[in-house]
Amino acid sequence: MRETTLTFIGTGHFQPAPDNDTASFVLNGHCLIDCGWNAAITMTRYGYTPLDIDRLLITHCHQDHYLGLAGVIFLRHLRENTVDALCQLEIIGPVEDIGRIVELARAYMQVEAFQRLANAKPEVVGVEPGQTIEAGELSIATAPVEHSVQGLAYRIRDERTGVELGFSGDTAYLPELAEHFRGVDVLVYEASWGVEDPEEGTEAGHSGVRQSARIARDAEAGKLYIVHTNRGQQGEILSAAREIFPETYWPEPGMTLHLP
C-alpha cells in the first residue's frame, strides 16, 4: 500500500542537544525539509542518507534551519561512488536569500579547488511566498510568514496518497496561516515562546504554543506536532495546546508517521 512517511530528524530550538538536532524533517525518504546543524549525520541515525535526498526545502535562511547544508552537499559528494547514479539535488527556498546561502555553502567548501565538488552543483529554486511549485510526487504551496527574514510556510500534498502536510517554519501568530493550512492531515508548527503569549503581529517573530494551537484549530487540521520549543517545558506546553486543540502531539526525534 502506498503511504506518505514523515520522520522527525530534529525538532530542537535554535541549538541542537546531543540527542536532538534543530529543524530537519524527512518526507517520503527523499525530501528534506529544513537542514539543522548536523542533518547529514543525524539523518543516518534514523536510516536515511543524504545520497537519497533529491529535494531540500528551506523554510527560511536562519542558521538553525540551514547550517547543515554544507554537510549534506559534501557527504553526497564524498559517497557518490557508492551509488550507481547520484540523484540531482534541488534546493528550494525563499527567493530573497536561498541563492546566496547555497553559494556561500559552496564557497565554504572551496569548490574552486575541488573540481568534482564544483561539478556537483545543486539546482536552486528561489520561491516567492504565495508561489506554488510541483516537485515529483509533491505539490507545494507556499505562504508568507511573519518573521525577521523572508520565510515560506509550506503546504505539501503527496499526490500519490492525497495526504497533506503543513510546516510553519518560524513565524509570529498570523491568522491567515489557518487558511493556508486548512484541512491538512498533519501540521508541524513552531512554538518558540512556549506557554508565553507574545503579542500578535509584533516583532515577536515567533509563536507561543496557544497561538500555534489556535492556527491548528482554525485550520481544522488533523494533528498538530509542536517543534522548535523548550523541551524542558513539555508538560506545560502540551496541556496549554490541548486546551485549545486536543489533537496536539510532541514528536520525539526519530519518530516516523505513516500516513494516512
Residue numbers at the binding site for Zn ion (CB under 5 A): 62, 64, 170
Nearer to Zn ion, 163 or 209 (CB): 209
Whole-number minimum distance, CB 203 to Zn ion, in Å? 13
Nearer to Zn ion, 71 or 151 (CB): 151
Nearer to Zn ion, 64 or 97 (CB): 64
Q: Which three cell numbers stand for residue 66?
A: 540551514
Whole-number minimum distance, CB 65 to Zn ion, in Å? 5
Asked whether the beta carbons of 158 and 138 are under 8 A apart, the reply is yes
User: Using CA atoms, how far apart are residues 208 and 239, in angstroms rounded to an integer?
Assistant: 13
Whole-number minimum distance, CB 106 to Zn ion, in Å? 22
Whole-number minimum distance, CB 238 to Zn ion, in Å? 20
Nearer to Zn ion, 64 or 164 (CB): 64
Nearer to Zn ion, 158 or 170 (CB): 170
Q: How many residues does the chain have?
A: 260
User: Using CA atoms, how far apart are residues 169 and 59, in angstroms rounded to an integer?
Assistant: 5
Which whole-number Å values give the CA distances from 92 to 78, 199, 230, 231, 253, in the listed order?
A: 23, 31, 28, 29, 24
Whole-number minimum distance, CB 118 to Zn ion, in Å? 30
Nearer to Zn ion, 7 or 59 (CB): 59
Q: Which three cell numbers stand for residue 172?
A: 509570529
Nearer to Zn ion, 170 or 185 (CB): 170
Whole-number minimum distance, CB 255 to Zn ion, in Å? 20
User: Using CA atoms, how far apart are residues 38 and 35, in angstroms rounded to an integer?
Assistant: 8
Identity of the amino acid at 201 = G
Whole-number minimum distance, CB 202 to Zn ion, in Å? 15
Nearer to Zn ion, 158 or 190 (CB): 190
Whole-number minimum distance, CB 151 to Zn ion, in Å? 7
